[in-house]
Amino acid sequence: MRFRRTLEDPEDPIELNLIPLIDIIMFLLIFFVSTTSFIEEPGVPVVKPSAASARLLDKNSIIFAVTPDGKVAYGGKEIGLGGVRPTVKRLCAKEPLPVVIQADDNARSGLVIRVIDEAKLGGARNVSMATEKS
């Protein structure tokens, strides 16, 4: 007996199901958004001095900005010199966090020293200055 192969049109048209593809894309999007770490930068623009020994910033840090006109800011809001110690005490209550000071290149050194002193009096163990890598 001989079988004959016929080339007929299939009864059901072939459809491409896009639902699993969309599910995978959404899963990847949610995965990457949830695992991305964000570093909080203060909203005050400062021109940092350059240093050859600059290192990357820790993910969990308290960042203060000192502007050339003598303002001290945390999280983009001006807190003044008197707000440094309570902010450090509040944020270091559970665990000690490093404090990073982003001082403008033209900021007064006396004010920067007082900010460092207030941070240490607030309970910060590690206080460092932010610089640009040269």
Q: pLDDT by residue (tens digit) across 94-111?
A: 888 889 898 888 888 899
Q: Count the alpha carbons within 13 Å of 97 in the hemisphere toward its beta carbon.
A: 19
Domains of the chain: 50-133 (3.30.420)
Per-residue pLDDT, averaged over 24-30, amounts to 93
Task: Check residue 27 and give its pLDDT.
Answer: 93
Task: Check residue 51 and give its pLDDT.
Answer: 61
Per-residue pLDDT, averaged over 11-36, amounts to 85
* Distance separating alpha carbons of residues 27 and 115, to the nearest angstrom: 45
